[in-house]
Amino acid sequence: MTRYEITTIVADETAPNPALAPIQAQGGTITHEESLGKRRFSYPIKGETSGVYHRVRFDAEPSMIGAIDTTLHNDPSILRYLLVTQPREVKAIAPEVDEAAIEALGDVTTMNRDAEATKKSAPSEPAVTEEEPTEVVAEPAVDTEGATVTSETGKNESVADEATRQATLDEKLKNILGK
């Protein structure tokens, strides 16, 4: 038998889950049933703005699913449904335990713990140091003739004009920073 899950949406809050009867009629075994409550839709479905969600997990033969699907498709009380196959449960296999690896991890943990203790006991350094900022001078990009340069604004200017503009900007920056 294969494990399946059906989620249905119905408009009537008082109606029982419509997926139960077709599953039982075809000889399926219900393993879990739950109502997920009423929820509003993002858009109207068959003229309804909200619906009650139901979920059923069951075991059945693959040959039974066609009849269950047809019954759910023809049921007018169901706004939407989704029938999916559930993956089989896989048991995790425990790997062989390597005692040397565990001891090595213990040593690493001890080293990490010692490093953390050293960090906590060491005096903290200031986040910002009082160093003199280094001045970065950008060299102008000279074209092949050496007479013009493309400035940051995208204009072609003479090398002398660009150098003057850079010097002026540097002076303004020093005045702003107070140096």
Provide the strand spans (E) within the chain.
Answer: 2-10, 29-45, 48-60, 78-85, 148-150, 156-158
The CA distance from 159 to 151, in Å, is: 9
Of 19, 33, 22, the closest CA to residue 77 belongs to 19
Which pLDDT score, from 0 to 100, does residue 73 have? Answer: 92
Report pLDDT digits (tens) over 54-89. Answer: 999 999 999 999 999 999 999 999 999 999 998 876
Which pLDDT score, from 0 to 100, does residue 144 have? Answer: 44
Instruction: Output the CA–CA distances (angstroms, integers) from residue 59 to 28, 54, 82, in the order listed.
Output: 6, 17, 16
Whether 53 and 9 have beta carbons less than 8 Å apart is answered as yes
Which pLDDT score, from 0 to 100, does residue 166 have? Answer: 87
Which pLDDT score, from 0 to 100, does residue 96 have? Answer: 62
**Mean pLDDT score, 91-95:** 57
CB count in 10 Å sphere of residue 87: 7
Whether 59 and 29 have beta carbons less than 8 Å apart is answered as yes
Residue whose token pair is 């498709």:
73
The CA distance from 147 to 41, in Å, is: 69
Strand pairing partners for 114? none
* Residue of higher predicted confidence among 126 and 35: 35
Q: What is the dihedral of CA 75, 80, 84, 89, to 10 degrees?
A: -110
Residue whose token pair is 């409550």:
37
* Residue of higher predicted confidence among 144 and 1: 1
Strand pairing partners for 71? none
What CATH number was assigned to the domain covering residues 2-85?
3.30.70.60
Domain boundaries in the chain? 2-85, 136-179
Residue whose token pair is 């009537």:
12
Of 161, 162, 156, the closest CA to residue 144 belongs to 156
Which pLDDT score, from 0 to 100, does residue 55 have? Answer: 94
Angle at 145 between CA 149 and CA 140, to 5 degrees: 25
